[in-house]
């Protein structure tokens, strides 16, 4: 069994990631109150999902948590991260964790719709959803630590207004400061890596696209090469790609076939409007405002 298949929060073998989803570990049984940390993995990459993670434990468990070695997941090797996820799952009485996996299609739909749901708003929604579902499971939270998203003070006030009675700390690099945020960082990063490693391209049964993706960041030469080699001029990219990223838009504008969209309903509406404008040009302002089209109306 590969590493990606052994991660419970990742899709199963040969299962395409087509929808966003939430995974929760078994609920801890130790008495509260609990502290909870929030962090993410995958905000910047042009490929794959954005994953938000939370980890939580009793406030009285802090000393034991310090000994487990959690830290900013980016500062740890992949092997260490996977071992730490095992540690996070090794004490179900005291430790719990959850992830929200936001699929690339959902990210793009949100950012491209009108009005747009930008990445910050999608991130906030994921954070709020995870905290709310942990509370709904019966866990009593006293402290929540969040790795910074935007202006820290405003975000603290906003979260506190949604969850009165919980003390929120929103801080830059919280994953390196608070062990419980480091644990959330590990859960998010290991889940995202497993999603990428085990990605199933639903668009092609022969899996013709290479898995040499690089880091997924737009500046990575391997990722750039993969994007250039994976473009289908008519249909674009597989669903692994975030179509809302500027990097992708530039490639599509330069190398894909141009498509002109015609909305027949909109065209008819515009024509009717122009026709009405022509009829209205000699009418006075009062009759236009009151929609009086003939003396019969009077």
Annotated binding site for a divalent metal cation: 39-40, 147
Q: Provide the 3-class DSSP secondary structure of residue 138.
A: coil
**Contact predicate 131/65, CB 8 Å:** no
Feature table: binding site: 39-40, 147
Q: Indicate the pairing of strand 96-102 with strand 50-58.
A: antiparallel
Give the separation between CA 59 and CA 34, rounded to whole angstroms.
5
**Contact predicate 180/36, CB 8 Å:** yes
Q: Is 165 left (phi over 0), alpha (psi -120 to 50) or beta?
A: left
Cα-Cα-Cα-Cα torsion 101, 102, 103, 109, nearest 10 degrees, comes to 170
The H helix count followed by the E strand count for the chain is 11, 6
**Placement of tokens 């090469």 in the chain:** 225
Range 246-256 burial, b when 16+ CB lie within 10 A, else e = ebbeebbeeeb
Question: What φ, ψ does residue 265 adopt, rounded to 5°?
Answer: -65, -45
DSSP 10: S
């Amino acid at each position: 069994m590969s590493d990606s298949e052994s991660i419970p929060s990742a899709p199963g073998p040969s299962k395409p990631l087509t929808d966003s989803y939430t995974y929760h570990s078994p609920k801890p049984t130790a008495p509260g109150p609990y502290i909870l940390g929030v962090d993410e993995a995958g905000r910047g990459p042009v490929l794959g999902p954005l994953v938000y993670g939370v980890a939580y434990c009793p406030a009285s468990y802090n000393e034991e948590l310090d000994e487990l070695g959690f830290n900013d997941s980016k500062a740890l090797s992949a092997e260490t991260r996977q071992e730490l996820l095992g540690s996070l799952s090794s004490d179900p009485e005291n430790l719990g964790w959850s992830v929200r996996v936001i699929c690339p299609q959902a990210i793009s739909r949100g950012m491209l719709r009108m009005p747009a749901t930008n990445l910050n708003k999608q991130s906030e929604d994921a954070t709020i959803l995870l905290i709310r579902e942990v509370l709904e499971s019966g866990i009593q939270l006293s402290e929540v630590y969040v790795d910074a998203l935007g202006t820290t003070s405003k975000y603290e006030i906003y979260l506190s207004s949604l969850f009165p009675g919980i003390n929120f700390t929103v801080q830059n690099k919280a994953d390196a400061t608070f062990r419980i945020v480091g644990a959330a960082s590990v859960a998010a990063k290991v889940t995202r890596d497993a999603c990428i490693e085990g990605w199933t391209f639903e668009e092609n049964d022969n899996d013709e696209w290479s898995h040499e993706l690089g880091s997924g960041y737009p500046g990575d030469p391997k990722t750039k090469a993969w994007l250039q080699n994976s473009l289908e001029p008519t249909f674009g990219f597989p669903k692994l790609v975030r179509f809302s990223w500027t990097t992708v838009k530039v490639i599509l504008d330069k190398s894909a076939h141009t498509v002109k969209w015609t909305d027949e309903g909109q065209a008819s509406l515009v024509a009717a409007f122009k026709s009405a404008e022509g009829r209205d040009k000699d009418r006075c302002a009062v009759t236009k405002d009151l929609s009086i089209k003939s003396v019969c109306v009077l």
